[in-house]
Amino acid sequence: MPQFFQRRALSVCITLLCSGIAGSARIADIPLAPPESVGFSADGLKAYERALRTLVDEQRLAGFTTLVARHGKVVSFDAYGHQDVAAKTPVTKDTIFRIASMTKPIAGVAMMMLWEEGKWKLDDPVHQHIPEFAGLKVRTDAGLVAQTHPMTMRELMSHTAGFDVSRGYQDANLNDSDLQGMITKLAALPLAAQPGTDWRYGPSVDIQGYIVEKLSGQTLDRFLSARLFEPLKMKDTGFWVDASKVSRVSRIHTYGPDKKVMVADVNRDPSRKPRFLSGSGGLLSTTEDYFRFAQALLNKGELDGVRILKPATVELMRTDVLNPGVQLDLYGPTEQGIGFGLDFAIVKDPALAKTPRGKNTFYWGGAFGTWFWIDPTNDLLVIGMIQNVNGSIPTGDTPPVRTISPNLVYAALKPSTR
């Protein structure tokens, strides 16, 4: 372990608040660069902000934050609407959101830190690190059969290890205890597909969180704090928040019969440490914190003199590892022009994917509607935060912010600068 991180780990371990979001002072506002200085149209970015603000004014969104940066400079950072429409509490730039599956890339980076240390290899059988998974059978129409090959770590990190989609485990209640309890339950169940043959969005990254704990000797919250959040100065990111920050946490919203946004009845106490530390979707964060994480990856693993990964490792994470014929099918129909690396989706063919984002863009989003993408071709990144039940489902009541955002951001990018 580099000496810098050894010192960080020691300093973090002496504080009782290292694994939650401590009650430190708020982060200063990010200075904005003139859009034209990095090839954007100021009017174009204003049109993007107005489009999202209109959705709030029409009561289709409670509120949002969004950030656009290019060449390491933030050119748009907007916060508008309410983090609680019932209490009329305004969204601010430091509002804290449940980022759900935007936790996955963070867990993936943690895995790759341990990969760089030689603690695992991409072609290792998963059972080498989780013995309980040795000999898992595969469920087929003809009954249970053996795996054609043992699932690998590469497959685990690309949702092709053979585990079922999340709804396939509803009756198993995988997250009702702790990470070890999840492993015990999965070890008693058959796989849903042969490893490497099908992309299924299920418990793979929670399993990665368990592996991080096992290989590092630390709980997932402490590892992430010591190795990522502290070094990158992500002061508002964790699995729970300090009581002093509860007022900054957005409520989760839904829609009434009139299709107007309203507070949902699903809000738990964000100041309570969860027993199940979900690498798949358990973190809370702010737009600024996630910007620091994303910018470090856009910078090939470094931010403000702190290196979290080697450039070649970041490139590996954003390289498609799916076998020929295997495609993403998150909401259906099967997504074209999109590949999957190590805990990131990747734009392989922008035209086929029908997106203005640059080739090799890597990205993901969260169930409550949060989104981000990192575009190395155009050296830009975008982050957006909303908080809706089923906010990521394109056929639901939530406006299509994940389509609106790239369309308007790239419309504001001057063609001569691409």
Tell me, what's the pLDDT at 15? 35
What is the CATH architecture assignment of 3-103+217-417?
3-Layer(aba) Sandwich (3.40)
Q: Which residues pair with 73 in a beta bridge?
A: 70
CB atoms within 10 A of CB 170: 8
pLDDT in tens, the chain (418 residues): 444 333 333 443 333 334 455 443 344 478 999 999 999 999 999 999 999 999 999 999 999 999 999 999 999 999 999 999 999 999 999 999 999 999 999 999 999 999 999 999 999 999 999 999 999 999 999 999 999 999 999 999 999 999 999 999 999 999 999 999 999 999 999 999 999 999 999 999 999 999 999 999 999 999 999 999 999 999 999 999 999 999 999 999 999 999 999 999 987 899 999 999 999 999 999 999 999 999 999 999 999 999 999 999 999 999 999 999 999 988 766 789 999 999 999 999 999 999 999 999 999 999 999 999 999 999 999 999 999 999 999 989 999 999 999 999 999 999 988 8
Phi-psi region at 390: left, alpha or beta (left = phi > 0; alpha = psi -120 to 50): left
Domain boundaries, given as residue ranges, for the chain? 3-103+217-417, 114-211
Tell me, what's the pLDDT at 268? 85
Return the SS3 of 32: coil
**Distance of alpha carbon 205 from alpha carbon 197, whole angstroms:** 18
Could you tell me which residues come within 8 angstroms of residue 146 by beta carbon, excluding any fewer than 6 positions away? 135, 137, 138
Could you tell me which residues come within 8 angstroms of residue 9 by beta carbon, excluding any fewer than 6 positions away? 1, 226, 227
Q: Note whether 263 and 84 are within 8 A (CB).
A: yes
**Distance of alpha carbon 361 from alpha carbon 349, whole angstroms:** 10
CB atoms within 10 A of CB 344: 25
**Distance of alpha carbon 349 from alpha carbon 118, whole angstroms:** 33
Q: Token match 């990856």: residue?
A: 297
From the list 269, 297, 278, 299, the residue with the least C-alpha distance to 372 is: 297
Q: What is the pTM of this model?
A: 0.93
